[in-house]
Each structure stands twice: as C-alpha cells, then as structure tokens.
Amino acid sequence: MEVVMKPTIKDIAAKSGFSIATVSRVLGNKTGSYSEKTQIKILKVAKELGYRKNSVAVDLVKKRSDVIALIINATPTNFSTQIIDGIQQRASELGQGVIILYAGNRDNGLQHKAIITALERSVTGILLAAIEPDEQDLALLKASRIPYCFVSLYLGTRDILAVSSDNRDLAYQATQYLIDRGHTRISLVGIDGYHTGSQRQAGYRDAMAANQLTAADILSGDYSYESGVKLLQQVHDQGVTAVIAASDMVAAGLLTAAQQQGLTIPRDLSIMSIDGTIICQITTPALTSVTQDFYRIGSQSVNKVMGQPAEDFIPVVITERASVAVQK
C-alpha cells in the first residue's frame, strides 16, 4: 500500500520558490516581513498541496493552546445547552476554541479522567459545569497552575473561582413567592445534598423560618423527571398546597403524575419550578419558575477563567406562568 506523506513547510517552500523562513512566517500569520503578493502565492501553493497546520505541534511550542476545556456533568436536567452556548460565544470573542469533555453523572472516576485529559492538552483554562469535585480533583486542578472555574456551582468559598446563581437566595425567593400567595404548607422536592442542593435547602428553610412557618420534610431526588413522577405520592402524603421543584424536569414529572391521578394544577397543587428552561413553556399548564440566566453564567465563567472582569453570582428572576394559584 502506498503511503502518502503530508506536505510540509519545506514542500511549500520548494514549490513556491520562497525560503522556508518566509513560508513559516506567512503560515504563522506573522505580518510585516513579506508582501501581500507573497502571502497570496504561498497560501495558494499550501492549498494546492493540501497543507494543514499541525496544531498539536504549535501548542507544544507555545506551551499552551488557544482552547478552553469544558468538563460537563451529564446531569438529568436540561440547562447545559444554554451554558454551552454562552461559553462558546464568549470564548469565540476572546479568540478561544472550546473542547467538551463529559464526566458522567456524579461519577468520580470519569470526572478525574476528564480533568487529566484537559490537563494533557495544556489548555488555556478549564471550566467545570455542574461538577462536584472531590479532594483528588481539586488537588489536580490546583497543582496544574492552569486557571479553572466552576460553572453553575458555588463551593462556598471565594478562594475557588466560580460563577453561579446564588442558590440560597434563589430558593428563598421561590419560597417567599409562594408564601406571598397565601401558601403556608410548602415542600421542596427532588433535590440532593451536594453543594447546590444544600444551599437551596438552606434558602427554603430560611424563608419558612422568617415567616414563622414549619418547613416540611425535604423530599430527596436527583433533579430528574423520574424523581418528580415518583415523589408525587409523598407530596400528597405531606398535605402541602405547594411544592418547589428542584428542577424543571422534576416539575414536569410532578405535573405528569398529578394529571395521571386526576389532580388539577394549580387548583389542587401549586408547582414552582427552579431553572426556567424551555420545559416550563411547553407543559400544560406552563410552569411558573425561578429563572436562571444560564447563558450569562456560561459567558461570565469564560471571563473569569480568562482573567477578565466577571460576576460571581448571576441574578435570577421570577417568571410567572400558570402553575401557581393564590391560596385563600
């Protein structure tokens, strides 16, 4: 079998009649030392020969690449697309590419491998979206001296770069919204005990205590649609008039299960969702939500990892739709 060798700078120099140094400067886009006519001819020859720049070799020379690594948790929610869009747009504006590495769902082994893969690329920075790091992950990141930032996750310390909604305040606002509409028996549903979940649980309890109300037992889950479906019976057993769903997927699951049992939303149960993604608009009834600006979270995280001015906490808004009733 014939082996076809990839064209090199030396081949381009031989065919174009220019020196290797000149060809290298043109292909490296180092302006000022050659004419436009020279550039056009060299680029034409490079195209004819099928030349492709060896980006790995360039990275080795520069000791870094113009690429940000995004490590993303395969969470059973649906907000990641908006975060990725925000990251991609802002990275492009700053001359950076983006590579995406999946880390499973709460899989420490896959997370660790993804971080190692990113570090092996000598990337400009590392973004970790909805990733709960263990001590080994943090040790790796700190030892690398590569900038890193957690996205849509706040680890409780300003010493570790992060961009997120203020999850404690977010849950407080959601709870207060329901209280302001006459609800006094409110449950928090489908949530876990990691950093984000713990912060939201604290906000819920704070709001209930501030209004001299008794918090219901928090119903644990993994933010998934299936959690919502499974937890409706427990919600019913609690005797609450309103629930705060840990995610839009949990809210959709609660809504489906409620309708299957003949309940009317919001007459029989008010549902307040956290996230505010497209899911809230396509259910019947549409879901009232605490809406996070995931696009902005993504774009601001790029600013932070690139050393640009950036926000720590991105404000949320209450988006009123049709799933919350006034309790009389």
Q: Look up residue 15 and give its amino acid.
A: K
pLDDT for position 100: 93
Chain center to CA of 22: 44
* CB-CB contact of 89 with 98 (8 Å): no
pLDDT for position 73: 85
* CB-CB contact of 151 with 85 (8 Å): no
Domains by residue range for the chain, with CATH: 9-53 (no CATH), 61-163 (3.40.50.2300), 167-293 (3.40.50.2300)
Cβ-based neighbours of 150, under 8 Å, separated by 6 or more: 127, 128, 131, 133, 160, 161, 162, 163, 164
Q: Which two tokens stand for residue 168?
A: 């404690």
pLDDT for position 30: 63
Cis peptide before 266 (omega within 30 of 0): yes
User: Which SS3 state, helix, strand or coil, does residue 292 take?
Assistant: coil
Closest CA to 320 of 278, 283, 282, 272: 272
Q: Helix H segments across 34-160?
A: 36-49, 55-62, 80-93, 108-120, 135-144
Separation CA 178–CA 185 (nearest Å): 9
β partners of residue 271: 243
Separation CA 287–CA 264 (nearest Å): 13
Sheet of strand 97-102: strand arrangement: 97-102, 67-72, 125-129, 148-151, 162-163
* CB-CB contact of 175 with 209 (8 Å): no
Chain center to CA of 185: 32
Distances (CA, A) of 19 to 22, 37, 38, 61, 66: 5, 15, 11, 21, 28
pLDDT for position 76: 65
pLDDT tens string 5-44: 677 777 888 888 988 778 777 776 666 667 878 888 888 8
Chain center to CA of 17: 50
pLDDT for position 58: 47
The pTM for the full model equals: 0.80
Distances (CA, A) of 58 to 52, 54, 55, 257, 269: 12, 6, 5, 55, 60
The number of helix segments (H) and strand segments (E) in the chain equals 13, 11
Q: Helix H segments across 94-239?
A: 108-120, 135-144, 167-180, 195-210, 225-238
Which segments in the chain show pLDDT lower than 50?
Answer: 1-4, 55-62
